[in-house]
Amino acid sequence: MYDIDWGEVADSTAEAVSDGASALYQGVKDYGTKAFQWIEDNPETSQIIAGVVGGAGQYLAAKEQQKSAERFEMDMMERRRKERQIKPGEIENYGTHIGEVKKGLLTNGMIAGGN
């Protein structure tokens, strides 16, 4: 059917990719050069822009820190709430009340059919 030379296809593909990457790199390099030249030509404006960007960064960092502190507080409140709850089966060996909890109407009394 078709006689395809895969080595030639691979070479031409690699060359096209290389040319595209080179053009992309050159475009980024030119853009960076122009941007730095503009900053050098306009120092006051670039300082204002840098101040605005720095202020926005500080605002976002403070907001994220506040969210993190709120999550921590909520986690701690949840942990304290769980620690205050009674957990079934953990009362038996508590201080002087050893075994007293299991001698109620439901567990060992008339309703449960015990002694």
DSSP code for 14: H
Please, which pLDDT band fits residue 26 given cuts at 50, 70 and 90? confident
Residue (of 92, 112, 89) closest to 100 by Cα position: 92
pLDDT in tens, 29-72: 888 888 888 888 888 998 998 999 999 999 999 999 999 999 99
Q: What is the pTM of this model?
A: 0.41
Residue 31: the pLDDT is 86
Please, which pLDDT band fits residue 108 given cuts at 50, 70 and 90? low
% of residues, the chain, pLDDT over 70: 64
Query: CA of 92: how far to CAs of 7, 89, 97, 103, in Å?
Result: 79, 7, 7, 11
Could you tell me the residue ranges of all domains in the chain?
20-84, 88-115
